[in-house]
Amino acid sequence: MPEDCFVCRSEGLTARTSIMVEAGSAKTAARLLRSNNGLVVEGEIGLSDEAWTKLSLKEGDVVEVRHPQPVPSFNVLRKRVYGNRLERSDFTGIVSDLVAGRYSDVHLASFVTACSAFPLDLQEMIGLTHAMVDAGKRLSWPQQVIVDKHSVGGLPGNRTTPIVVSIIAALGLVMPKTSSRAITSPAGTADTMETLAPVDLDVDRIREVVARQNGCLVWGGAVQLSPADDIIIGVEKALDLD
């Protein structure tokens, strides 16, 4: 929105403020940016491609901008900051708000730091894992046995995943492997694999590759399998936490 927007002044909306943008029954959370280069003028608002698509807008449509509703999971987040254990339902609320864009960078950093300073116990790990899985898309395969592998990560130069996936797939087992980009090391598994082949495949392309080769090695963020993971990884990388 323009820097001299009277709505921003009257409502106390500053740069990077969280807002809700609504168009009819559609709405999306957004982060406010202020423009002074004439890109938008009084009475206009510019939107990101993601917000534009979510709201199904065309140029000239009217939208409403309002303060977001209080986020209930902030209370749960404060519990974790003070070292209290969380239930599975608590993580469901946090991850749901996180994926919906209701968390600012400060809240995200607080959540990641709280989980690092007071490490999750086994039940919390299970609860957070379920919440992250439920927030993303899922892929299913007709074969009876589907295999996977995971490693701790964070060690530069130990790219075992491309080797393991290739061997297992060559032996006839199905291994549709998704990996992340870099968190604390210079390049993640997906980054390394991208020097050899594309890793940002869509769902149809993944199924095609797996049907032909028994396996694949792709970046999970390209198909929204775990959108919460991608958001959290971005904060972990900035904080140098793994």
- Residues 144 and 210 reside in one and the same domain: yes
166 and 141 in one domain? yes
Query: What are the tens digits of pLDDT across the range 115-148?
Result: 998 999 999 999 999 999 999 888 888 999 999 9
| Interval 56-69 mean pLDDT | 87
Given 61, 148, 200, 242, the catalytic residue: 242
The residue ranking higher by pLDDT, 142 or 180, is 142
Q: What is the pLDDT of residue 155?
A: 65
Instruction: For helices 105-117 and 227-239, give the axis angle rounded to 10 degrees.
Output: 80
Place of tokens 């199924």: 207
Asked whether residue 47 is assigned to any structural domain, the reply reads yes
Instruction: Tell me: pLDDT of 185 over 80.
Output: no
The dihedral through the CA atoms of 5, 51, 48, 96 has a sign that is positive
Burial annotation 115-132 (CB, 10 A radius, 16+ → b, else e): beeeebeeebeebbeebb
Does 134 qualify as catalytic in the annotation? no
Which pLDDT value is given to residue 156? 63
Whichever domain contains 106, its CATH number is 1.20.970.10
Look at the chain and report how many structural domains it folds into. 3
Range(s) of the domain holding residue 25: 6-66
Distance spanning both ends of the chain, measured CA to CA: 36
**In the chain, what percentage of residues exceed pLDDT 70?**
96
Assign 94 a pLDDT band (cuts: 50, 70, 90): very high
